[in-house]
Structure 1
Amino acid sequence: MGLRSSTPLKTKWKRLSLKLCLMPTIVQYIALDSVVALNGSSWKVQCGRKDGLVSIADNSEACLPSHNLGLDDLVANFEAKGLTREQMVVLSRAHQSGVGHCPNLIRRLYTWSQENPTSDPLLAADYAAELKASCPQFTFNESIFLRMDVITQFFDENYYTTLKQCKGLFHSDQVLYSGQRTRPLVEFLTANNANFQAEFGWAMRAVGIKTEGQIRNVCSKVNEVYY
């Protein structure tokens, strides 16, 4: 959801007589509704996360974990935001309803490393062939997209099932199963969906905690300071 669509939504919430309408809280409720719409369970939203005091587009991109990150770097990225390794594995299942684009897959499919100049060795051969058919080498067409979950678009354990089949679309997803530190949790969550649903709610509440910042009057920019 972009800022253009979220600003009118925030205005609508203010009309409902909400004294404090924080944009991060609205985004969390949208995430909740999206998960429930995909047959996921509900959770109690952790309200009160404030907007940042600095708004730079390049900074947000730098904070997001790359699709080619290995497990150690992924864990470090989440821990830097106060999230545990277990919460990382749980939250990653939110990728299930997402899509990837060819430009982000070219390296994984054709030039993974000097030692392995073809496909990422963590990728199943049949799935690699399927992806190559959709994304020929030197294809940079952003309009081509591939679903993160090849089994279903519902919010269920099949995200982890695809990882066990070595069919995670991105390397950063697949390492959750190939990594010895996280594989046991992937196995457990695959077989215990009820436990996952509870853990996902707690992890989402952890994401919602941030007391520093401000309540923005306009979602796309920090509040003006008057002297």
Structure 2
Amino acid sequence: MKTKSVVPSFLSVIILLQLANAQNLSVGYYSKSCPNLESIVEKTTARFVSSAKSLAPALLRMHFHDCFVRGCDGSVLINTRSKNDPAEKDSLPNQSLRGFKVIDAVKSDVEKACRNKVSCADILALVARDAVKLIGGPSWPVPLGRKDGRISRANESLANLPPPFFNVTQLIASFASKNLTAKDLVILSGGHTIGISHCSSFSSRLYNFNGQVNSSDPSMDPKYVAALKKKCPPPGNTTNIVDMDPGSGLDFDTNYYKILAQRRGLFQSDATLLQNSVTNAYIQQHVNAAAESSFFKDFADSMVKMGKIGVLTGPPGEIRKICSKIN
């Protein structure tokens, strides 16, 4: 009986500590130690995104992948130090991440102005915000004060990042474990309004669905299936790519919800959002451009909330000198 009572108490302590750390974040945290931080980050990020808009969704995705594993601690940026202990960066879900050079460049410019003051985790959070803003998406105040983690394990990525084949029940549970709601789920999924995907992430919906020969996912619009098959011919194509939001892949807008309602969600994890009353209701409210301002506000709020997942604000965190290496 004593053992059973200790476990919930221990978990409660962890949750309370995480919430306390999140409360220690603040907008303007570096106002004295690095007063020009945000302008430096935006200028350097713009230098990359202005010439390659496809980096914007990549940087947003990187922030998401960082926060869902060990919290927003920059651990996704760390290079593997031993082949027997691969880092998050080398896990299967993260092998397609792009934009590390942007983070490195921003860190370098920040270090020139404010040596050993700003964490890589904070830089990643700011870069993700600025990248979205630079392609016409919303902006939001980023609470700062995160420290960088010193641990990065590939197997933890597989355990924490929701895969594209999850159903809505699994997705809601995954987000709930990070203190995010079903509404946060469908709002943050709206980030799929920008970006691309490799055919391998959804080809199981096109060919031999659920093991049935020559069958496709019946929840998909047949015309969309036919169009995708032309871009992703069998067998298991791993190099071809498609827009997650056809015709609007670099425009941050509400078109993602419109195509979901038309049964043209690319991933199973997109399509399944129609099967829950909360997520489906949000989709139906945002199927036209008139709802864009509402989506922008909600997305900003959910990004702030996501950016507080499991943050470190003191020991054992650190401020890395180089984002890809622990000190």
Shift of 1:215: 2.5
Distance in 2 (CA, whole Å) between partners of 1:4 and 1:41 is 24
Aligned partner of 1:24 among 90, 97, 121:
121
Query: Unmatched 5+ residue regions in structure 1?
Result: none
Of residues 277, 284, 302, the one that matches 1:203 is 302
Task: Identify which range, 76-85 or 108-117, moves more after superposition.
Answer: 108-117
Alignment match of 2:244 (pick from 148, 167, 171): 148
Deviation of 1:25 (Å): 1.7
In 2, the alpha carbon distance for the partners of 1:24 and 1:190 equals: 34
Distance (Å, rounded) in 1 between the aligned partners of 2:141 and 2:211? 47
Whether the 8 Å CA contact 2:119–2:320 is kept in 1: the answer is: yes
The residue that corresponds to 1:138 in the other structure is 235
Task: Provide the rounded CA distance (Å) in 1 between the counterparts of 2:251 and 2:225.
Answer: 23
Cα 1:66–1:117 shift into 2, 3 Å: farther
What is residue 177 of structure 1 aligned with on the other side?
274
Change (3 A) 1:116 1:139: closer
State how far apart, in whole Å, the 2-side matches of 1:4 and 1:43 are.
24
Q: Which residue of 2 aligns with 1:120?
A: 217
Counterpart position of 1:73:
170
One-letter amino acid matched to 1:149: D
Tell me how far 1:145 sits from its aligned partner. 0.4
User: Conserved in 2, the CA contact under 8 Å of 1:123 and 1:167?
Assistant: yes
Query: Could you tell me how far apart the structure 2 residues matched to 1:110 and 1:176 are?
Result: 22
Match of residue 219 from structure 1: 323
Aligned length: 222
Q: TM-score, normalised by structure 2?
A: 0.63
Q: Deviation at 1:169?
A: 0.8
Larger RCO (alpha carbons 8 Å, 6+ apart): 1
2:201 is the alignment partner of 1:104: yes
CA deviation after TM superposition for structure 1 residue 219, in Å:
1.5
* Residues 173-215 of structure 1: per-residue CA shift (max 9 Å, x gap): 1111243331001112335221211111111111211432333
Displacement after TM superposition at 1:18 (Å)? 6.4
Measured against aligned partners, the alpha-carbon deviations of 1:59-97 in whole angstroms (never above 9, x if no partner) come to 224322101110011111111112111111111111121
User: 1:124: how far off?
Assistant: 0.6
Q: Is the 8 A contact 1:48 1:208 kept in 2?
A: no
User: Structure 2 vs 1, CA of residues 18 and 82 (structure 1 numbering), >3 Å: closer, same or farther?
Assistant: farther
Structure 2 residue identity aligned to 1:96: T
Q: Distance in 2 between matches of 1:114 and 1:140?
A: 18
Contact 1:3-1:219 at 8 Å conserved across structures: no
Using a 3 Å threshold, how does the CA distance of structure 1 residues 147 and 200 change in structure 2: closer, same or farther? Answer: same
SS in 1 for 2:242: strand
Superposition RMSD in Å: 2.1
